[in-house]
């Protein structure tokens, strides 16, 4: 069942085109996260779905209904913003029920909905408190609660967690995922934080400069990025990119550059051959380096000159160089390991990525 569908949506402010051509097909009940750098058009997209911003052209359907020109109220959506303002003089219950009271919903129903939302958000014991007596995370949950009580067809979230500290953000990510399961509603969530996108989404939409770069499951976009932008955006720390050249040597294909030479895995040979340029960009994720060779076939030696080794518990984070090129690597290291030093490391070549150097698409 289609839930929220955007067809060739264009958005311009005056002469400036922010979104050149956006099509999205979000299924009913799906949790879709739109992720991209600041200024790429995420909020504008969400506001167009909400009806707070008009489209320049194109159409928007919600639940099979053309809502392109419908008022926000007629769209059956609830939106949670990054910056929320609670009514300071009202307690939690009052804040959460405000919209329902305004709409003249019967009292018994209001109570029931507020109780249910408070239960889901673990706010039951705070219903009588004023916002000033709540922590930042509790206030954020009240803001969520205001939307949830309305039980809309579709929930829209615009970076609702970015004001919270790291631990609370992690908790709220989990709570939101649980909430999605409990409510079983279509949710569109916007963030610049790829970790939020990876952890919560059924599908991720990666945007850059108003253009969709890739749509896929978290696993899809991590394992098979369509271009260098997606490859660098998804994953933490970011993928390393190295200028390299392809060289055939008998039936082997090597990717070589300053300070390294690695065999290209067999499954990529055909695509590498079809790419009739010798010059490529090699992509190596930090987490695919290893300090020990656990597999003779797939782990190949690569020289790292280590500048700094940071101990981060189960692994060490290396700021290093391959030739003149700065790279990062996260290598597993036992609890008693000494700081890693320069020398021979290994890279799992089955996890390498190749990109067209000029056009940046994946090979």
Ligand X SMILES: Nc1ncnc2c1ncn2[C@@H]1O[C@H](COP(=O)(O)OP(=O)(O)O)[C@@H](O)[C@H]1O
Interface residue list for ligand X (CB under 6 A): 13, 18, 36, 38-44
Please give the Cα distance from 22 to 207 (Å, whole number).
10
Please give the Cα distance from 355 to 363 (Å, whole number).
5
CB of 193 to Mg ion, least distance (A): 12
Please give the Cα distance from 13 to 118 (Å, whole number).
40
CB of 42 to Mg ion, least distance (A): 5
CB of 43 to Mg ion, least distance (A): 3
In the bound state with ligand X, the residue whose beta carbon lies nearer, of 4 and 92, is 4
CB of 16 to ligand X, least distance (A): 6
Please give the Cα distance from 285 to 241 (Å, whole number).
9
CB under 5 to 8 A by kind: which of ligand X, Mg ion, none does 13 bind?
ligand X
In the bound state with ligand X, the residue whose beta carbon lies nearer, of 43 and 186, is 43
- Which region among 37-45, 234-242, 252-260, 279-287 touches Mg ion (by CB under 5 A)? 37-45
Nearest residue to 18 (alpha-carbon basis) of 46, 350, 276: 46
CB of 360 to ligand X, least distance (A): 21
How many of the other CB atoms lie within 10 Å of CB of 197? 25
CB under 5 to 8 A by kind: which of ligand X, Mg ion, none does 39 bind?
ligand X
Q: Does 43 bind Mg ion (CB under 5 A)?
A: yes
CB of 184 to ligand X, least distance (A): 27
User: Residue holding tokens 């507020």?
Assistant: 114
Contacts of 303 (CB under 8 A, 6+ apart): 259, 260, 322, 342, 343, 344, 345
In the bound state with Mg ion, the residue whose beta carbon lies nearer, of 43 and 281, is 43
Q: Does 44 bind Mg ion (CB under 5 A)?
A: no
Please give the Cα distance from 127 to 92 (Å, whole number).
5
Q: Does 213 bind Mg ion (CB under 5 A)?
A: no
- Which region among 42-50, 215-223, 252-260, 329-337 touches Mg ion (by CB under 5 A)? 42-50
- Residue 100: phi and psi, rounded to 5, are -70, -40
CB under 5 to 8 A by kind: which of ligand X, Mg ion, none does 125 bind?
none
3-state SS of the chain: helix, strand, coil percent to 5?
A: 30, 35, 35
In the bound state with Mg ion, the residue whose beta carbon lies nearer, of 43 and 97, is 43
Contacts of 181 (CB under 8 A, 6+ apart): none
In the bound state with ligand X, the residue whose beta carbon lies nearer, of 81 and 332, is 81
Interacting residues with Mg ion (CB under 5 A): 43
């Amino acid at each position: 069942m289609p839930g929220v569908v955007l067809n060739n949506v264009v958005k311009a402010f005056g002469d400036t085109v922010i979104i050149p051509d956006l099509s999205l097909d979000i299924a009913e009940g799906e949790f879709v996260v739109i992720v991209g750098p600041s200024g790429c058009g995420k909020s504008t997209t969400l506001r167009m779905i909400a009806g707070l911003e008009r489209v320049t052209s194109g159409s928007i359907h919600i639940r099979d209904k053309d809502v392109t020109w419908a008022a926000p109220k007629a769209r059956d959506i609830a939106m949670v913003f990054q910056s929320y303002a609670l009514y300071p003089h009202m307690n939690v219950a009052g804040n959460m029920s405000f919209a329902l009271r305004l709409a003249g919903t019967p009292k018994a129903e209001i109570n029931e909905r507020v109780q249910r939302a408070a239960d889901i958000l673990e706010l039951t014991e705070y219903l009588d408190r004023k916002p000033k007596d709540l922590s930042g995370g509790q206030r954020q949950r009240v803001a969520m609660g205001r939307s949830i009580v309305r039980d809309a067809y579709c929930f829209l979230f615009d970076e609702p967690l970015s004001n919270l500290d790291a631990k609370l953000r992690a908790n709220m990510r989990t709570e939101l995922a649980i909430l999605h399961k409990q409510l079983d509603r279509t949710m569109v969530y916007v963030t610049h934080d790829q970790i939020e996108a990876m952890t919560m989404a059924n599908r991720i939409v990666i945007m850059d400069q108003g253009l969709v770069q890739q749509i896929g499951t978290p696993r899809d976009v991590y394992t098979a990025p369509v271009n260098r932008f997606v490859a660098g955006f998804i994953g933490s720390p970011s993928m390393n990119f190295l200028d390299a050249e392809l060289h055939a040597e008998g039936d082997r294909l090597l990717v070589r550059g300053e300070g390294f030479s690695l065999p290209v895995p067999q499954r990529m040979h055909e695509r590498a051959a079809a790419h009739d340029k010798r010059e490529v960009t090699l992509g190596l994720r930090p987490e695919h380096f290893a300090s020990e060779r656990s597999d003779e076939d797939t782990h190949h030696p690569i020289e790292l000159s280590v500048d700094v080794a940071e101990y981060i518990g189960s692994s060490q984070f290396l700021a290093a160089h391959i030739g003149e090129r700065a790279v990062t690597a996260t290598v597993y290291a036992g609890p008693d390991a000494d700081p890693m030093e320069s020398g021979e490391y290994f890279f799992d070549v089955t996890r390498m990525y190749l990109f067209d150097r000029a056009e940046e698409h994946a090979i």
